Amino acid sequence: MTTKKAILKIGKSKTAHELSVYSGTEGPDAIDVTALYNESGCFTYDPGFMSTASCDSTITYIDGEKGILRYRGYDIAELAKKSNFMEVCYLLLHGELPNKKEYGLFVSEVKKYSLVHEQLQFLYRGFPRFSHPMAIMSGAFASLSAFYHDSLDIRNKEQRKLAALRMIAKTPTLAAMAYKYSIGRPFIYPRNDLDYTANFLHMLFASPSEEYVVNKVLAKAMDTIFILHADHEQNASTSTVRLAGSSGANPFACISAGIASLWGPAHGGANEAVINMLEKIGDIKNIPNFIKKAKDKNDPFRLMGFGHRVYKNYDPRASVLRDTCHSVLKELGMQNNTLLKIAVTLEEIALTDTYFIERKLYPNVDFYSGIIYKAMGIPSNLFTVLFAIARTIGWVAQWKEMIEDPKQKIGRPRQLYTGYKLRKYVPVAKRK
């Protein structure tokens, strides 16, 4: 990182504070304010992290204005077309694409850990059948720290590696179990003769009583979705993982915190909300009314799957998913799907409407993923769980990067206090 300087004067003070300005390899420069409080007694104020970089990272690069997303320097569209999810996992974790030998070893190591402890079944059985699968996922994931004591020492490189492999390998198993449990069907064990994504679809849809053959087009589509969702730099759930991990918490607990954050409708819960919205719209003729509602400041309704904190252009993941969506619906003979028609028309109308143009609101990754999942027969309350499977590798890579950073400190934001000044305690008998 090269250094420039920024000068800050506060109010009428004659003191000028000289702040270092760091340049990354790409993207905006960042002003280092770490010493500002000690020197000036002032904090910086940035709720929602609108202008604050919380760390430096070599994993993912986003240019929201241009609609660019790259993992370790590789463009997302190229990875989606030419790579596969396991290779992308290796890339995110280790920084480089694997050679043939490294790839083979990584895949077999991940497969080795795909089973979960048999006792976990009893944890699942403690949940009500109507539980949201994300509730089960975050609970089950946190519980892994109770089972795998030999991968909890975050200062031990081998244990960190073991924890990473376990988390990548077990997430699909936990997710499929959450689904099977919710519909009262038997759990399906992982099959290591299948690849990562086909194995997940098998655990999701197979039954012990009959043979289930995984559809190759659907498996490829799911693998693409996993690649697209694998990492997205310092979003809410990843920042949650980093903040939880900054205290030295074990990796299973940290990823569980990330799952909880991802669940929110403004984050990973949005694709479920997109389907609910498209179903509510119901017919192309109702679209103008919903567009009107989305633009009305007195109406809380927002066009789900539109807008992004970082992308002020078409989300590059949405472009890939649009094509994937068409190929999945073609494979399933569902080209005339009503939800897809509503989605395509809604997108066309919104992209030519001044409200959306002025605010740079474009379809985001969640806009098409829900339609693909629905066509595959995946219930909407499982959508965010699929996001969690894919994002686990991003969380793990970011957590690992943070732990291995010699500058790493516990994360502790400050605040602008706006509450009461000192007050005298009044005994209850004397209060009005």
**Binding to ligand ACO by residue 303, rule CB under 6 A?**
yes
Least distance to ligand ACO, CB of residue 235, Å: 7
For residue 14, the one-letter residue type is K
Annotation says 366 is catalytic = yes
Q: Find the catalytic residue in 223, 231, 315, 366.
A: 366
**Binding to ligand ACO by residue 67, rule CB under 6 A?**
no
Query: How far is Cα 272 from Cα 384, in angstroms, rounded to an integer?
Result: 7
Of residues 114, 171, 256, 364, which one binds ligand ACO by CB under 6 A? 364
Interface with ligand ACO by CB under 6 A: which range of 160-168, 197-205, 251-259, 300-308? 300-308
**Binding to ligand ACO by residue 393, rule CB under 6 A?**
no
Q: Give whichever of 347 and 366 is closer to ligand ACO, judged by the CB atom.
A: 366
Q: Give whichever of 72 and 308 is closer to ligand ACO, judged by the CB atom.
A: 308
Least distance to ligand ACO, CB of residue 175, Å: 17
Nearest residue to ligand ACO by CB is 307
**Binding to ligand ACO by residue 266, rule CB under 6 A?**
yes
Which structure tokens are listed for 404? 């291995």
Burial profile 126-138: b = 16 or more Cβ within 10 angstroms, e = fewer: ebeeebbbbbbbb
Q: Compute CA 268 distance to the chain's CA centroid, rounded to the nearest angstrom.
A: 6
The region, left, alpha or beta by phi > 0 then psi within -120 to 50, assigned to residue 378 is beta
Q: Find the catalytic residue in 46, 308, 323, 405.
A: 308
Helices (H), 206-235: 216-229
Sign for the CA dihedral angle at 145, 150, 156, 161 comes to negative
Q: Give whichever of 311 and 399 is closer to ligand ACO, judged by the CB atom.
A: 311
For residue 409, the one-letter residue type is K
**Binding to ligand ACO by residue 259, rule CB under 6 A?**
no
Report phi then psi at 228, rounded to 5: -65, -30
Specify whether the CB–CB gap between 203 and 176 falls below 8 A.
Answer: yes
Q: Give whichever of 202 and 308 is closer to ligand ACO, judged by the CB atom.
A: 308
**Binding to ligand ACO by residue 361, rule CB under 6 A?**
yes
Q: Give whichever of 179 and 306 is closer to ligand ACO, judged by the CB atom.
A: 306
**Binding to ligand ACO by residue 270, rule CB under 6 A?**
yes
| Nearest residue to 242 (alpha-carbon basis) of 63, 95, 56, 33 | 56
End-to-end, the C-alpha distance of the chain in Å comes to 60
Report phi then psi at 19, rounded to 5: -115, 140
Of residues 294, 346, 386, 390, which one binds ligand ACO by CB under 6 A? 294
Residue ranges in contact with ligand ACO by CB under 6 A: 266-268, 270, 294, 302-309, 359, 361, 364-366
Residues that are catalytic:
308, 366
